[in-house]
């Protein structure tokens, strides 16, 4: 229901004042609550339940003035000055407006509920005024009078939402991200920020009140809500209590007044979580469905907050961490739980090692909490003070207000938020008469940065000397380091660790000073520093850290060793071995035993004693062995020659046993972790590369050759290895096999397989280096070995499979040479072989992979020859196969890379068909697969570069599809490319740089900034021309050249390229590719370049017929192809 108050309360000839705008003192600057009325000045409306009143503008101006001074008496004269400026009037207009406001509010003069009249003084609002935001109504004037609105170093909780100011935009952004992830089917968001940035408070006092608000509460309509929430502080739970903490959080959830999960104890539920987390997720969903009232709308899920996630990531228990994250992720995928993980951003490298925490990152599932702005800091300082009826004092001159100084100091101080809250709480406790936060008290406590330090020093100075000395003994238990150059972190100090009454007295004093917080962890009472900002702001602690930083970092490094020793019953086998770590630990424990604790000291002492015993035994054994050797030499002198041969063979057998890595390589290859063998490559080459030894058996020679081929594979150009080392190993393997007659080999199949593998990896390295002639020779030897294998063993299915791979390899080289006919012949022959084998063995995973590989190559070839429809058919078939294999064998991480590369080819085919949105979506999937692959093998430089190359293509496709430029991604790629030592991947790296320039040019063209587009396009062309001069037949470079030509035509309006010479240069640049038979966008650009010079393409081509690209739009200049 809407009513209007339109009666004029002013002379009709006077202009209306503008609609009043709320001041910056009211958060959100849009609306607030006056009692039970919702006030919206921008629309001149009052709303309560279903009643809506539209005010006259002057009425709203008076109401805003009264709300701004809620609880204060405003005279008629002050209201006239505020709402009728520059007008000479009596006070009668004020009385009329007040009367109109009372009618609108349903108020009474005799029993006022909103506006009170004070005879001969003025008017005063008596109803509470509260800010209205996504949280609901929050207190403003006097709503917390008599209570402190500041929390010191404690985190805000949901109960403090009414005084949590300054973070409305961040709360809204976090809510939007969670809602988006809910709609995408994986409701998990990771909130990142530095220590002390207010991450926990943002979730607890900002987001959770919004999510838990009942239906119909103020807030954004349509966004996800939650029936319950629970928080796990992972920093307060060690690995022994992790599952119990998770079980306790689940049992805290309530739906209505009943527990969501009933009938469980914490211990029983913790065991069930480890045994079958999926069943617990199903029980959660069933309980939600059972408790959902009829007609209440969409079923959502309870919220689980994982606070201080970094404490979980640093646990020395990889299996435990993986199982815990997998358990939570399974619930998220079931829509049983919404997860908000809170993590310090300096632990992001550890977070990135867990793919489950990276899901949805490309779609906004990670949020970086930025520092608050000046306006936000001002709200954090001033609005809680107004809610408590506090005022800010001034300096002695009266010119500077304390709140202004606090704002300025906070913007220039590290750890601003915790220090600010602590300082404001101290100012409240020391407030002057009239509830004034005084300038003098702020000066006395040393300002923002000195407040905590002074408070701590005052607390310690009040203690007797013996107790002050005890503080130094307590610091090792309260302070830790994650690394020697990392920030300090708080540690939990149990009561059992307090050695005497002095130490207990120090703890009690620091708890009373609110610098330590007492509590329990895993059932053990103790204490910890209330906030890590204390460790960074207390001079006594920072000086102590500077002196002991190296020893503290060493202590953290030793902790897993000590814990494993204790868990194993102090077994001698679990002591520290002879290593630099042991010597460092001995020196540090000797110099500073108090830093390490009794258990660590016992561990180091036992390790040192064990080493001494071992050394004594070794000396004794060496002496005995020497005597035995002398006796043996004297007794066996006659058999010296035989002993020499036997010794040599024994030595060779030991060396072979150390480096026969074929079986291990076969296990590591599917999961993409051959790099784990890289560290032994050079030693292995030295041991295995010598010529055939005396009396060496053929089986030993073959095994040596296999190990050398593994070294060549590990050190190949597919990762971070050393290609020259790889080539040396492969050459020696081929020499060993050449000296070994195939007929003498104990396993004929193994002989030819090793011979072919050596030739293949040599060809692959030469191919990646751009030496196509040498690559072709090596791949011909690979094919010859496979054909000989098949000739000798015609029933061996592996021989046929390997021959298919050899044909595929030869086809890829022919493709790089632009010999399309030879490439098609090789790929088709390979596919026919593999499909015949797969028909006989339909469950063979390697054959399915092989068929998909040949289909991918044939799909690429079809697209290059202007058949995008056929290309897409082949690529889709391969895509279905690889997805099936990935789902059935998720641990084989190499397939993630294969799926990414295949999706790139599908995106290109869709792009050629003009399906630009589908192409952009396919390229998004491609980069996601490649990013997952790179995450499993962070040291693989080739994969990281392929990801950057695909992302540059992704940016172009997004622009083609009409989507905005992803500027953060472009900036990150550009920074990565600056000064990048591309090494052996130089061609791909330089092409990526040129593509990024093309993205910049296309974006400028989209903005109609032609001059900028032309300038950047020239830079891209310069880089591309240099690459084409080195690799004139590279099909990717030729396609890129064609897209640059089309972009120049688009920028010139399709008339010409600026001069006839430029047209001719474009024709000349593309002619070799067109003559070789490359179609698609290359042919399209070539034809367009001819048209720009006024020459028919068929005439310029010497009368040769032109095959179309297969794209119906290829006959005209396409403005969507840069």
Q: What is the pLDDT of residues 94-142, one digit of tens each?
A: 889 999 999 999 999 888 989 999 888 899 888 877 766 555 455 555 5
The candidate with the shortest Cα–Cα distance to 116, out of 179, 41, 66, is: 66
C-alpha dihedral (470, 473, 477, 479), degrees to nearest 10: 100
Q: Both tokens of residue 174?
A: 């976090």
Judged by DSSP in three states, 125 sits in strand
Give the span between the Cα atoms of 847 and 863, in whole angstroms. 24
Which residue from 1003, 1008, 1074, 1077 is spatially nearest to 1041, judged by alpha carbons?
Answer: 1074
Query: What is the Cα–Cα distance from 779 to 776, expressed in whole angstroms?
Result: 5
Q: 1052 phi and psi, to 5 degrees?
A: -90, 5
> Averaged over 999-1015, what is the pLDDT?
88
Contact (CB, 8 A) for 134 and 218:
yes
Contact 475, 491 (CB under 8 A): no
CA distances in angstroms from 331 to 165, 187, 243, listed in the order given? 33, 10, 15
> CA distances (Å), 820 to each of 810, 812, 827, 832, 1098, in order?
12, 10, 10, 18, 22
Task: Identify which has the larger pLDDT, 453 or 1105.
Answer: 453
Alpha-carbon distances of 732 from 705, 709, 756, 784, rounded to whole Å: 8, 9, 14, 19
Q: Report the pLDDT value the prediction gives residue 688, as an integer from 0 to 100.
A: 57
- In the prediction, which pLDDT does 1068 show? 78
In angstroms, the CA 984 to CA 987 distance is 8
Reference 855, options 837, 886, 880; nearest CA is 880
Check residue 134 and give left, alpha or beta (phi > 0: left; psi -120 to 50: alpha): alpha
Residue 289 neighbours by CB distance under 10 Å: 9
What was the pLDDT predicted at 634?
65
Give percent of the chain above pLDDT 90: 14
Tokens of 828: 């088709």
Q: Read off the pLDDT of each residue in 584-589 and give the average, rounded to a whole number.
A: 76
Widest CA span in the chain: 134
pLDDT digits (tens, 9 = 90+) for 1054-1065: 444 445 666 777
**β-bridge partners, 306:** 232, 341
Asked if 1017 and 1023 touch (Cβ cutoff 8 Å), the reply is no
Q: What is the pLDDT of residues 501-510, one digit of tens each?
A: 888 888 888 8
Q: Residue range 169-173: average pLDDT?
A: 90
Q: Could you tell me if residue 522 is left (phi over 0), alpha (psi between -120 and 50 degrees) or otherwise beta?
A: left
Q: Could you tell me the sign of the dihedral formed by the alpha carbons of 631, 636, 640, 645, in that order?
A: negative
- Angle CA 615–619–621, to nearest 5: 110
Q: How many Cα atoms sit within 13 Å of 67 on the Cβ side?
A: 28
Q: Given this model, what pLDDT does residue 5 score?
A: 36
Of the pLDDT bands very low, low, confident and very high (cuts 50, 70, 90), residue 27 is very low
The residues, ordered by sequence, that sit 6+ positions from 388 with a Cβ below 8 Å of its Cβ are 142, 144, 145, 146, 147, 148, 149, 428, 435
Q: Are 129 and 34 in contact (CB under 8 A)?
A: yes
Q: Is beta strand 129-133 parallel, antiparallel or unpaired with respect to 488-490? A: unpaired
Cα-to-chain-centroid distance, residue 358: 5
Sequence-distant (6+) residues with CB within 8 A of 83 are 17, 58, 61, 62, 65, 97
Specify whether the CB–CB gap between 804 and 833 falls below 8 A: yes
Strand partners, 366: 190
Contacts of 308 (CB under 8 A, 6+ apart): 233, 234, 235, 236, 342, 343, 344
Pairing between β-strand 115-118 and β-strand 122-125 as defined by DSSP bridges: antiparallel
What pLDDT, on a 0 to 100 scale, did the predictor assign at position 730? 83
Range from 135-139, 191-195, 250-254, 364-368 that averages highest in pLDDT:
364-368
Predicted pLDDT at 690? 52
- For residues 799 and 752, give the distance between their C-alpha atoms in angstroms, rounded to a whole number: 9
Of residues 504, 508, 474, the one with CA closest to residue 491: 474
Asked whether the predicted pLDDT for residue 793 surpasses 90, the reply is no
Element counts in the chain: helices (H) and strands (E)? 44, 23
pLDDT at 187: 94
Q: What residues contact 949, with CB distance under 8 A and at least 6 apart?
A: 988, 991, 992, 995
- The C-alpha atoms of residue 575 and residue 604 are separated, in whole angstroms, by 8
Among 847, 857, 844, 879, residue whose Cα is nearest residue 807: 857
Identify whether the C-beta of residue 595 lies closer than 8 Å to the C-beta of residue 555.
Answer: yes
The DSSP call for residue 203 is I
pLDDT tens digits, one per residue of 943-1000: 888 898 899 999 999 988 889 888 888 888 888 776 566 555 678 888 888 898 999 8
The token pair at 693 is: 């030894």
Q: Using 50, 70 and 90 to split pLDDT, how confident is the model at 721?
A: low
Confidence band (pLDDT; 50, 70, 90) for 231?
very high
* 3-state SS class at 582: helix
Q: Is the pLDDT of residue 731 over 60?
A: yes
| Secondary element (H or E) of residue 124 | strand 122-125
What band does 229 get if pLDDT is binned at 50, 70 and 90? very high
Residue-level pLDDT at 906: 93
Cα 635 from Cα 641, distance rounded (Å):
14
Would you give the distance in Å from CA 814 to the centre of its chain? 40
Check whether 1108 has a pLDDT greater than 60: no
Provide the pLDDT for residue 4.
39
Q: Mind spelling out the 3-state secondary structure of 995-1040?
A: HHHHHHHHHHHHCCCHHHHHHHHHHHHHHHHHHHHHCCCCHHHHHH
- Assess contact for 442 and 514: CB atoms under 8 A: no
At residue 294 the predicted structure's pLDDT band, cuts being 50, 70 and 90, is low
**DSSP SS3 for 567:** helix
Q: Per-residue pLDDT for 22 more than 70?
A: no
**What are the residues whose beta carbons fall under 8 Å from the beta carbon of 595, sequence distance 6 or more?**
476, 548, 551, 552, 555, 588
Q: Given phi > 0 = left and psi -120 to 50 = alpha, else beta, which region is 28?
A: left
Output phi, psi for 340, to 5 deg. -120, 110
3 state SS of 391 = strand
Give the C-alpha separation, 845 to 882, whole Å: 10
Higher-confidence residue of 682 and 544: namely 544
Average pLDDT over residues 148-158: 82
pLDDT of residue 1088: 81
Contact 752, 792 (CB under 8 A): yes
Report the C-alpha gap between 951 and 944 in whole angstroms: 11
Distance CA 439, CA 400 (A): 9
Structure tokens at 929: 């697969």
| The pLDDT of residue 342 | 95
pLDDT of residue 1: 43
Q: How far apart are CA 612 and CA 628, in angstroms?
A: 24
pLDDT band at 307 (very low <50, low <70, confident <90, very high): very high
**Burial (CB count <10 Å: 0-12, 13-18, 19+), residue 762:** buried
CB distance 143 to 126 below 8 Å: no
Rounded to whole angstroms, the Cα distance separating 149 from 428 reads 9
């Amino acid at each position: 229901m809407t009513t209007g108050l339109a009666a004029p309360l002013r002379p009709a000839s006077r202009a209306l004042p503008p609609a009043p705008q709320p001041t910056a003192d009211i958060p959100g600057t849009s609306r607030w609550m006056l009692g039970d009325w919702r006030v919206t000045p921008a629309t001149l409306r009052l709303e309560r339940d279903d009643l809506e009143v539209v005010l006259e503008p002057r009425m709203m101006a008076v109401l805003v003035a009264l709300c701004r001074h809620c609880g204060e008496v405003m005279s008629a004269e002050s209201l006239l000055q505020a709402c009728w400026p520059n007008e000479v009037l009596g006070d009668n207009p004020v009385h009329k407006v007040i009367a109109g406001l009372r009618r609108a509010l349903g108020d009474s003069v005799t029993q006022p509920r909103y506006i009170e009249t004070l005879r001969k003084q003025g008017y005063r609002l008596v109803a509470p005024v509260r800010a209205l935001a996504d949280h609901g109504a929050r207190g403003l004037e006097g709503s917390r009078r008599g209570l402190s609105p500041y929390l010191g170093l404690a985190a805000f909780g949901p109960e403090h939402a009414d005084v949590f100011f300054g973070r409305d935009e961040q709360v809204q952004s976090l809510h939007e991200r969670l809602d988006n992830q809910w709609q995408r089917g994986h409701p998990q968001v990771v909130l990142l920020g530095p220590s002390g940035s207010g991450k926990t408070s943002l979730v607890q006092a900002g987001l959770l009140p919004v999510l838990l608000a009942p239906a119909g509460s103020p807030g954004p309509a349509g966004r996800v809500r939650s029936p319950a929430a629970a928080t796990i502080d992972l920093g307060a739970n060690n690995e022994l209590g992790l599952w119990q903490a998770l079980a306790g959080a689940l049992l805290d959830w309530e739906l209505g007044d009943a527990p969501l999960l009933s009938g469980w104890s914490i211990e029983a539920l913790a065991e069930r979580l480890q045994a079958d987390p999926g069943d617990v997720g199903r029980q959660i969903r069933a309980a939600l469905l059972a408790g959902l009232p009829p007609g209440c709308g969409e079923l959502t899920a309870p919220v689980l907050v994982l606070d201080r996630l970094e404490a979980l990531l640093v646990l020395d228990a990889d299996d435990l961490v993986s199982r815990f994250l997998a358990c939570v992720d399974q619930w998220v995928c079931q829509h049983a739980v919404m997860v908000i993980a809170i993590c310090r951003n300096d632990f992001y490298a550890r977070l990135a090692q867990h793919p489950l925490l990276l899901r949805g990152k490309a779609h906004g599932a990670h949020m970086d909490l930025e520092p608050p702005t000046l306006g936000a800091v001002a709200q954090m300082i001033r609005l809680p003070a107004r809610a408590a009826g506090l005022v800010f004092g001034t300096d002695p001159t009266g010119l500077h207000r304390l709140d202004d100084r606090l704002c300025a100091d906070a913007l220039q101080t590290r750890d601003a938020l915790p220090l600010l809250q602590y300082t404001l709480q101290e100012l409240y406790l020391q407030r002057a008469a009239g509830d004034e936060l005084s300038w003098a008290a702020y000066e006395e406590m040393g300002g923002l940065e000195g407040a905590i330090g002074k408070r701590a020093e005052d607390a310690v100075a009040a203690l007797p000397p013996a107790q002050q000395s005890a503080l130094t003994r307590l610091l090792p238990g309260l302070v830790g380091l994650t690394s020697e150059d990392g920030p300090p972190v708080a540690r939990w100090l149990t009561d059992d660790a307090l050695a005497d009454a002095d130490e207990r007295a120090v703890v009690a004093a620091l708890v009373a000073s609110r610098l330590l917080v007492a509590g329990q962890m895993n059932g053990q009472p103790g204490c910890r520093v209330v906030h890590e900002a204390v460790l960074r702001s207390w001079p006594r602690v920072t000086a102590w850290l500077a002196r002991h930083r190296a020893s503290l970092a060493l202590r953290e490094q030793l902790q897993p060793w000590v814990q494993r020793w204790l868990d194993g019953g102090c077994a001698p086998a679990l002591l520290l071995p002879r290593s630099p770590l042991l010597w460092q630990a001995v020196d540090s424990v000797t110099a500073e035993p108090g830093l390490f604790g009794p258990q660590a000291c016992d561990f180091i002492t036992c390790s040192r004693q064990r080493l001494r015993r071992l050394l004594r035994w070794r000396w004794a054994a060496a002496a005995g062995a020497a005597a035995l050797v002398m006796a043996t030499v004297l007794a066996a002198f006659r058999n010296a020659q035989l002993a020499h041969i036997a010794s040599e063979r024994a030595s060779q057998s030991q060396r072979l046993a150390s480096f026969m890595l074929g079986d291990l390589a076969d296990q590591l290859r599917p999961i993409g972790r051959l790099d784990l063998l890289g560290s032994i490559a050079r030693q292995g080459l030295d041991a295995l590369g010598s010529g055939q030894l005396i009396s060496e058996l053929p089986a030993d020679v073959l095994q040596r050759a296999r190990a050398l081929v593994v070294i060549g594979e590990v050190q190949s150009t597919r990762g971070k290895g050393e290609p020259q080392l790889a080539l040396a190993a492969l050459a020696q393997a081929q020499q060993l096999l050449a000296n070994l007659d195939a007929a003498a080999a104990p396993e004929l199949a193994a002989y030819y397989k090793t011979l072919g593998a050596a030739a293949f990896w040599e060809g692959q390295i030469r191919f990646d280096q751009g030496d196509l002639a040498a690559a072709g020779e090596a791949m011909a030897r690979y094919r010859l070995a496979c054909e000989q294998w098949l000739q000798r063993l015609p029933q061996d299915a592996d021989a046929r499979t390997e021959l298919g791979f050899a044909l595929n390899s030869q086809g890829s080289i022919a493709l790089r040479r632009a010999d399309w006919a030879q490439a098609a012949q090789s790929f088709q022959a390979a596919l026919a072989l593999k499909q015949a084998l797969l028909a006989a063995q339909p469950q063979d995973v390697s054959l399915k992979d092989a068929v998909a590989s040949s289909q991918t190559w044939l799909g690429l070839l079809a697209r290059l020859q202007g058949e995008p429809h056929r290309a897409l058919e082949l690529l889709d078939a391969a895509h279905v196969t690889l997805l099936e294999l990935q789902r059935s064998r998720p641990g084989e991480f190499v397939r993630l890379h294969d799926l990414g590369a295949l999706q790139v080819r599908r995106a290109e085919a869709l792009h050629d068909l003009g399906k630009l949105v589908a192409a952009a979506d396919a390229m998004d999937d491609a980069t996601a697969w490649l990013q997952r692959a790179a995450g499993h093998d962070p040291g693989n430089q080739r994969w990281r570069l392929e990801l950057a190359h695909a992302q540059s293509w992704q940016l172009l496709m997004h622009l083609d599809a009409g989507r905005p430029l992803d500027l953060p991604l472009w900036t990150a790629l550009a920074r990565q490319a600056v000064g990048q030592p591309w090494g052996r991947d130089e061609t791909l790296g330089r092409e990526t740089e040129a593509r990024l320039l093309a993205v910049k040019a296309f974006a400028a063209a989209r903005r109609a900034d032609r001059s900028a587009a032309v300038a950047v396009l020239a830079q891209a062309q310069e880089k591309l021309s240099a690459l084409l001069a080195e690799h004139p037949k590279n099909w990717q470079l030729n396609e890129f050249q064609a897209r640059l030509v089309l972009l120049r035509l688009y920028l010139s309006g399709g008339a010409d390229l600026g001069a006839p010479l430029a047209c001719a240069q474009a024709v000349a640049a593309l002619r070799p590719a067109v003559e070789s038979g490359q179609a698609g966008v290359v042919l399209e650009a070539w034809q367009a370049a001819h048209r720009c010079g006024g020459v028919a393409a068929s005439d310029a081509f010497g009368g040769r017929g032109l095959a179309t690209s297969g794209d119906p739009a290829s006959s005209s200049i396409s403005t969507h192809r840069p």
